[in-house]
Structure 1
Amino acid sequence: MSETIAINIQHLSALMMVAVVSLVSACSSAPARDQSADYESAAPAAAVDDGSNMGSIYRSGYGMSLFLDRRARQVGDIITVTLEEKTDASKSSSTATGKESNISVPTVTLLGRGVTHNGVPILSSGVSSDQDFAGKGTSSQSNSLTGSITVTVSEVLRNGSLRVRGEKWVTINQGEEFIRIKGIVRPEDIGADNAVPSYKVADARITYSGKGALADANSMGWLGRVFQSVLSPF
C-alpha cells in the first residue's frame, strides 16, 4: 500500500513539473502579433476582366485620367495622417468650511427654587459643537504625440466623408511598437500631398502601445495589480 502511494506521489510530482515547465515556456515565448480586424487595411474591389480585346487601346476595368486629382476618394485609396496631438490640462480646487453651535439649557427650578448642591446648580446643561474642514487638490496632465501613419479608406459615407483606418508595426530588438488610428476625414481637409493632420480626423481613435520584453518590464505584475485593486483590504 505504501509503495502504491509513493508511486502516485512521484507521478503527481512529475505532472506538476511538466505543468510548471509548460507554463514557463508559454510565458517566455514571444507574444503573437495582435491583428485586429478593426484596423486592417481595406482593399478596393477587384476589376473584372472578361478577357476580350476589341483591338483598341481601351480595356474594360482599366482607366487613367490625365486631369484627375490623386487625392484619396475611393475605398482602398491611401491617405497619410500626420499625428499632431498635444494636450495640456490643469485643475486646482480648494474648499474650507466651518460651523459652530452652542446650546444651553436654563437651570431647572423645583418649587420655585433652583436645584443646587453646595450652592452649585446641578440640573443645568449645555452643548457646544465646533466643526472645521479644509481641503485642497491640484491635478495637471500633458501629452504629446507626433509622427505619421499611412492608412486606407475603408468606407465612403453618403455625405462624401471618408472613413479611414490602419496600423503600423515597428519591431525593435525584442519588442514591437504599433500605432493604430481610425476615424472620419473630410475630402476638403486632405492636402495636395494627400495628407491630413490628425486633429482634423473626426471620431478619431488613436492607439500607441507596444509588446515584448520592454513593454513587459514596464508593466505591473499580477500580484501587484491585486494589491492595487479596489478589492484589496490593505
Structure 2
Amino acid sequence: MKTNVLLLLAAASTLSGCGAAGRLANVGRAPKFTAAEPMTAPYLERSIGTRTAPDRSIGASAPAMVAAAPPAQSASLFRTGAGAFFRDQRAARVGDILTIRVNIADKADIGNNTSRSRTGSENSGVAALLGVENLITKVLPGDNDPSSLVKSNSTSQNSGSGTSSRSETINMTLAAVVTDVLPNGNLMVRGRQEVRVNFEMRELIVSGVVRPEDIARDNSIRHSQIAEARISYGGRGQLTDAQQARWGQQIYDALFPF
C-alpha cells in the first residue's frame, strides 16, 4: 500500500513538474490562441457576375498542384449559391454560419433540514423456569435476581441541515458553423470564440443540435433552443492561475484521507 502511494506521489510530482516547466516557459507571455479547426463546406457555384482570371502562377513543371476545375457555371438565377430573392438565407447546409445568443441567468436556492431521534428500553428476566434459575446463581458471580436478568437502554439522535445557493449570469453572442446535417434535417453546430485582453484569454465554446425551424429570421438562435448543448465559458492566463490552488495543495487534497 505504501509503495503504491509513493508511486502515485512520484507520478503526480513528475506531471506537475512538467506543467510548472511549461508555465515557466510562458512567463511574461500572453496566452496563445487556439488553432482554428478545419471546416467542411460544399462547393457552391459562383455568381455569373463574379469572374476571375485564370491562375497562371503554376507552371507546366508542376501539374500535380493544379486544383480540379469546378463544374461549369449555368446562367440560372435560382442555382445553388446565387443571391436569390426567394431562397431562405438561414443556415441549412454544412459550412453555413448562424448566430447563437447565450443569455444565461440561473439562480437556485436549496435548503434541507433533517432531524431524527429514537429511544429504546428493554427489560427481561426469568423468575422460575423448571429450577434452571437456580443454576444462574452458580454460574454468575454476585447476588443475581433471575427476574431481572437483562436490562438495556438505548438512545439515538441525528440531525442534519444543508443549504445550496447558486447564481450564474452569462450574456454573449457568437457565430457558429454547421458541422453536419442529421438524417432528420437537424443541424449539428459548433462555435468557438476567443478574446485576449492583456495577459488573460477568455474563451466561449458552444456546440449542440439545432432544429432549422427554431432559427429566427435574422439567422440567430437562443441557447435554450439547442439540444445536447455544451456551453463552456472560461479563461486561461495570469488571473486564472492566481485563482487556482498550487499543484502541491491539489495533490495533498486528492490523496489525504482525513
Give, in whole Å, the separation in 2 of the partners of 1:200 and 1:108.
78
Give, in whole Å, the separation in 2 of the partners of 1:159 and 1:73.
12
Matched, 1:190 2:212: no
Q: Say whether the 8 Å CA contact 1:175–1:213 is kept in structure 2.
A: yes
Give, in whole Å, the separation in 2 of the partners of 1:205 and 1:100.
51
Deviates more, 1:85-94 or 1:168-177: 85-94
For residues 68 and 155 of structure 1, do their structure 2 counterparts lie closer, same or farther at Cα, with a shift above 3 Å needed? same
Match of 1:137 among 146, 149, 162: 162
Structure 1, gaps ≥5 residues long: 1-18
Alignment match, 1:44: 41
Give, in whole Å, the separation in 2 of the partners of 1:146 and 1:171.
18
For residues 46 and 122 of structure 1, do their structure 2 counterparts lie closer, same or farther at Cα, with a shift above 3 Å needed? same
Alignment match, 1:11: none
Q: Say whether the 8 Å CA contact 1:75–1:153 is kept in structure 2.
A: yes
Per-residue CA deviation, residues 66-89 of structure 1 (Å, 9 max, x unaligned), is: 211211111111100000222222
Alignment match, 1:90: 109
Q: Say whether the 8 Å CA contact 1:82–1:195 is kept in structure 2.
A: yes
Alignment match, 2:50: none
For residues 61 and 212 of structure 1, do their structure 2 counterparts lie closer, same or farther at Cα, with a shift above 3 Å needed? same
Instruction: Give the 5 Å matches for 1:21-32.
Output: 25-26=24-25, 28=27, 30-32=30-32
Q: Say whether the 8 Å CA contact 1:107–1:121 is kept in structure 2.
A: no
- Relative to the length of structure 1, the TM-score reads 0.73
Alignment match, 2:195: 170
Give, in whole Å, the separation in 1 of the partners of 2:234 and 2:249.
21
Alignment match, 2:54: none
For residues 226 and 208 of structure 1, do their structure 2 counterparts lie closer, same or farther at Cα, with a shift above 3 Å needed? same
The alpha-carbon deviation at position 223 of structure 1 amounts to 1.4
The alpha-carbon deviation at position 137 of structure 1 amounts to 1.5
Alignment match, 1:71: 90
Alignment match, 1:232: 256
The alpha-carbon deviation at position 121 of structure 1 amounts to 5.4
Per-residue CA deviation, residues 80-122 of structure 1 (Å, 9 max, x unaligned), is: 000022222232222222222222244767899997xxxx954
For residues 143 and 26 of structure 1, do their structure 2 counterparts lie closer, same or farther at Cα, with a shift above 3 Å needed? same
Give, in whole Å, the separation in 2 of the partners of 1:147 and 1:203.
19
Structure 2, gaps ≥5 residues long: 1-17, 45-67
Alignment match, 1:6: none
Paired residue total: 205
For residues 22 and 65 of structure 1, do their structure 2 counterparts lie closer, same or farther at Cα, with a shift above 3 Å needed? closer
The alpha-carbon deviation at position 183 of structure 1 amounts to 0.7
Per-residue CA deviation, residues 12-64 of structure 1 (Å, 9 max, x unaligned), is: xxxxxxx9x967742525554444x8xx363412357448689x688x98633
Work out the percentage of aligned pairs sharing the same amino acid: 28
Residue 176 of structure 1 aligns to a residue whose secondary structure is strand
For residues 232 and 82 of structure 1, do their structure 2 counterparts lie closer, same or farther at Cα, with a shift above 3 Å needed? same
